[in-house]
A and B are shown apart, each in its own frame.
Chain A
Amino acid sequence: MDISSIISLIQTSVELGLVSSLTVLALFLSYTMLNVCDLSTDGCFTLGAAVGAVVALSGHPFLSIPAAMLAGVTSGFITGILQTKMGIDSLLSGIIVNTALYSINIAIMGNSSLINLNKTETVFTMLKTALGGTSMAGMYKAVISVIAVAATVIFLALFLSTRLGLAIRATGNNPDMVRSSSINPVFTTLVGLCVANAFTALSGCMLGQLQKSVNIDIGTGMVTMALASLLIGRAFLGRGKITTRAIGAVLGAVIFRIVYAVALRFNMPAFMLKFVSSVIVIIAISGPYLKSRIPVIKRRLSAKKARA
């Protein structure tokens, strides 16, 4: 494999990593901060992709981004209302919304499960034209992804240090303390889920425009892949300030994509992606638990030996 193909491989991985890191940042907010595992992520990702594609198709490439994010906010709001006001368990409300979104998404895509954006003007094609002929011409996908990710990280860092942001973090940490600070945890949970789902939808919108097609399965497995990325990032930059940890989440997403691309090079079939991400999540979450069990298991084994 020559240098140029390695570079293009890395570039593609970084672009995909950055775009999907927006979903990872969404989970950073909902899973790490708010302590809610939002299983509507897959559907919301597709929702963002579908809304973004339809709006872009109608000739409004810029509008596609806020439109997708607004759709995400709506989805997050419904997931939040179900778990805070309607007595439905938080995991279940995510699953319910996810299922409902499947139908909604097909409806948005005009009763079809595929939208082709090959000839449609998107934010990516616009920048490609704008950069045409300059030295940055080949980098247009990366430029847009970096801008979106940087904006999201900065927003999160600022947002999470406001009083509302602190309250959201405390809700995941000790909801009783939030109540005794005269803040309604229902409100903080709702705001957190709305913001997180806006990022998830943005992520979907950008992936659809990046690969110039949206199909109904575009979001399948996103929640597991994003969790895997989040946990990889936590292993590298899991401590310290919010900004550091948010950057860790982005790094995790990029590393995940690079490792995946390398694995493909070694002839791992593409369909194994979701299996691998599941294994990563299992190892990252149960690893520390199993590690803590080792001394107990050792003692039991030696006690058994002593008895024998």
Chain B
Amino acid sequence: MLVIDKITKTFNPGTINEKQALKGLSLTVNDADFITIIGANGAGKSTLFNAIRGKFLTDSGSILLDGEDITLQPDYVRARNIGMLFQDPMLGSAPGMTIEENLALAAGRGGWFGRISKADRELFRERLSLLDMGLEDRVDSLVGLLSGGQRQALTLMMATINKPKLLMLDEHTAALDPATAEKVLELTKSIVRDNNISCLMVTHNMQSALDLGNRTIMMDQGNIIFDTSGEERAKLTVNDFLLKFKEAAGKALDSDRMLLER
């Protein structure tokens, strides 16, 4: 369970570029929650993710993951329990190393001087075959030679090879072609479901925001303005959703991309 309590973050304080990106945001993510997040550009979605994974420390407030206070932990320590995928498929893997070497680093078995064992290789092949992309026969290929979709699928595998307590997806299919995006999304759903991982997912597609997962939150100006789940959410249409936004934010949702993808 992730408990975020009134976190704030101001970028460039005291300068002309000062921006209050998170304004006392609170959120509780229950175990096995799959939450979709939507909001206009600059609403603070990515900032929220970066605060949770520790890219920066928040100015105030606290973040608890399964009861452990991670507010001041450095990012690489939090990464033990938090996996993250970005929109750019190039960010999650090392292009100059092979598929197997990338997976070995993510799996992190055998101590500092451990080497890739036969059992590791079997495990990697087995996991890769789940992707159904033929990567299990290319474990010695350099990751830099893979397509964007393959790299994103591999990153997903790396992020979940040790079951994380929380998986954060920042529009991780937005840079892929529609067919590949669909495939990576299906993979994401099955991995999250099979392993019972709590998941936060940013999307610009409102229909999939309502279709995926069990809960949807809407963000605006550094805070959560609308949080829906259960029956209420099941009845919502995209149009209701737009109205809700107008109601809560006091203005129309003005993201062209979001409206285009309705």
A169-B96, A177-B92 known; A163-B105 Cβ under 8 A: yes
Residues on the B chain within 8 Å of A161, using CB: 115-116
Q: Is A162 an interface residue (CB 8 A)?
A: yes
A103 CB–B CB distance under 8 Å: no
Docked-complex contact A163 and B113, CB < 8 angstroms: yes
- Of B76-84, B228-236, B242-250, the segment with at least 4 beta carbons within 8 Å of chain A is B76-84
Number of interface residues of B (CB under 8 A): 31
Known: A179-B75, A183-B105. A170 touches B112 (CB 8 A): no
Residue of A nearest to B86 (CB): A176
Nearest CB of B to A145, in Å: 28
Of A163, A173, A180, A183, which is within 8 A of B92 by CB?
A180
Q: A173-B95, A181-B105, A184-B76 are in contact. Are A164 and B83 (CB under 8 A)?
A: no
**Chain B neighbourhood of A172, CB < 8 A:** 96
Q: Which of A167, A170, A180 contacts B83 (CB 8 A)?
A: A180
A51 within 8 Å of B by Cβ? no
Contacts of A178 in B (CB 8 A): 76, 105
Assess the A170–B105 pair: CB atoms within 8 A: yes
Query: Which of chain B's residues 28-84 have a Cβ closer than 8 Å to chain A?
Result: 74-77, 79-80, 83-84
By CB atoms of chain B within 10 A, which of A172, A176, A180 has the most? Answer: A180
**What is the number of residues of chain A that contact chain B, defined by CB distance less than 8 Å?**
21
Known: A174-B93, A174-B95. A166 touches B104 (CB 8 A): yes
B87-113 contact mask (Cβ, 8 Å, vs A): 1 or 0: 000011111110001101110111111
The 10 closest A-B pairs by CB, nearest first: A173-B94, A164-B112, A170-B94, A174-B94, A179-B76, A182-B79, A173-B96, A182-B80, A181-B105, A162-B113
B-side residues, CB < 8 A to A, are: 74-77, 79-80, 83-84, 91-97, 101-102, 104-106, 108-116, 158-159
Can you list 30 A-B pairs with a CB-CB distance of less than 8 A?
Answer: A162-B112, A163-B104, A163-B109, A163-B111, A163-B112, A163-B113, A163-B114, A163-B115, A166-B101, A166-B104, A169-B94, A169-B101, A170-B97, A173-B96, A176-B91, A176-B92, A177-B92, A177-B93, A177-B94, A177-B102, A180-B83, A180-B84, A181-B79, A181-B105, A181-B108, A181-B158, A182-B77, A182-B80, A183-B105, A184-B76
